[in-house]
Amino acid sequence: MASIRELHKQLIRKERSAVEITQEALNCIAAQEPKLHSFLCVTSEHALEQAHQVDAKIAAGEEIGLLAGIPIGIKDNMCTKGIPTTCASRILENFVPPYSSTVTQKLSDAGAVMVGKTNLDEFAMGGSTENSAYHITANPWDLERVPGGSSGGSAAAVAAGECTVAIGSDTGGSIRQPASFCGVVGLKPTYGLVSRFGLVAFASSLDQIGPFGRTVEDAAILLGAIVGHDPKDSTSLNVEIPDYAQLLRPNFRPRGVLKIGVIKETFGEGLDSVVEQAVTKAIGQLQELGAEIHIISCPRFRYGVPTYYIIAPSEASANLARYDGVKYGFRASDADNLLSMYTHTRAAGFGPEVKRRIMLGTYALSAGYYDAYYLKAQKVRTSIKKDFERAFEQVDILVCPTAPTTAFKAGEKTADPLSMYLLDLMTIPVNLAGLPAISIPCGFDDKGLPIGMQLIGKVLREDLLLQVAYAYEQSTEWHKQKPPLN
């Protein structure tokens, strides 16, 4: 499938209609879903209706935006009015929201065509999209392997050409890690830049919505459509928003001005040698493009995982308390009193990973353990943030691998949750500090599986982050590679 800008030109020149573009995406989904399983819900009728509206505007001579008529996938933890939102959980199996999230409403207003709701780890808890209550999504580069998670459905759909772009959410790497595994671009914005209203909460101080695209420009265009202050979200930032796509250039600022720091704690033990080689070569390419390369230490980077797995489950424990069978969603029918209904509903409605995190969080917040675990984790979080602040006094951008390995085989890590958690080693500290970060393709391993490089920026410097990512992308051919599924 063509890029956003290419499709836009075809539409305004009337070379193709929005209905034709949408139908092509729906045909691709129909052909590939039996083996890929990227979507939980395909919204064919809704998509074609949206496409007809775009075509009507074009026929009437009205001006359309870049996203008008563009097929898009939405992660199924964002509310969509009149369309099921399940969070890949049995407990929300029949939930149809009476309202839309701010992000999905903005995309609808921009004329984007939602072709479906994409699969995820239940309530966004996981790193492989194997924790979905409905089905496991396959990686388009190797159907026996996972696409990453929790936004694996969105990443796989974009990589496979089922939609032009997609929306995901990132709590500890859930956009960037699947972007790395699937060979696409995934961006986690600064915390508060994108409204979380209508995003079903996992860990409220960490969750952030962001874009997937096959190119940096597509991700920049999509980001520009979803950012902005929202009075419905108390954490939403009221700041000036630049036109990210218009700022992209195929080169850096004058040689020697841009300083890029390599986080030394992300290299060495635990990192696959093929990933290390690919990312090191990509850093060399950044230097060739005119960047100054510095080795930077973030000494508490390694404490990100244990810190996250205290804070995130604690917030999940509080956020998921609302699913009790009373207000909405699944209710157990084999209960004979109120307490029994609560326990039976949650036992049957939640999957094992969600239960595991609720128990971890409830324990960390319980009397006698709060100070020892949750309060201490918040203090370490502050130290991690200060490490980043000191690093950014020396450099403009930080770089490291997105994930320590390439995509692993389905079922390989399900019996060992801790090994799965460690896959987020490179991405979690960024969420703890509220920083923006992007994963871009930078190579392949000897099995033909994609490798991602992560660029981390200062707060609200998505413009510089995208510029550096774009300059690197334009100097390589990685983003032009297509999975064999195509």
Which residues are known catalytic residues?
75, 150, 174
Which of 58, 185, 166 is CA-nearest to residue 118? 166
CA atoms 362, 364, 366, 370: torsion sign: negative
Where are the extended beta strands (E) located within 119-183?
Answer: 165-170
- The answer to whether 126 and 352 have CB atoms below 8 angstroms apart is no
Which of 235, 352, 371 is CA-nearest to residue 314? 371
CA 218 to chain centre: 14
Cis peptide before 150 (omega within 30 of 0): yes
**In Å, how far are 80, 85, 86, 91, 319 from 199, measured between CA atoms?**
10, 10, 12, 16, 12
Alpha helices per DSSP H over 119-159: 152-159
CA atoms 420, 422, 423, 424: torsion sign: positive
Structure letter (DSSP) for residue 282: H
- The answer to whether 193 and 458 have CB atoms below 8 angstroms apart is no
DSSP reduced 3-state for 216: helix
Where are the extended beta strands (E) located within 346-396?
Answer: none
- The answer to whether 220 and 245 have CB atoms below 8 angstroms apart is yes
User: Which residues are registered as beta bridge partners of 263?
Assistant: 296
- Distance (Å, whole) CA 167 – CA 354: 22
Which of 187, 179, 144 is CA-nearest to residue 159? 179
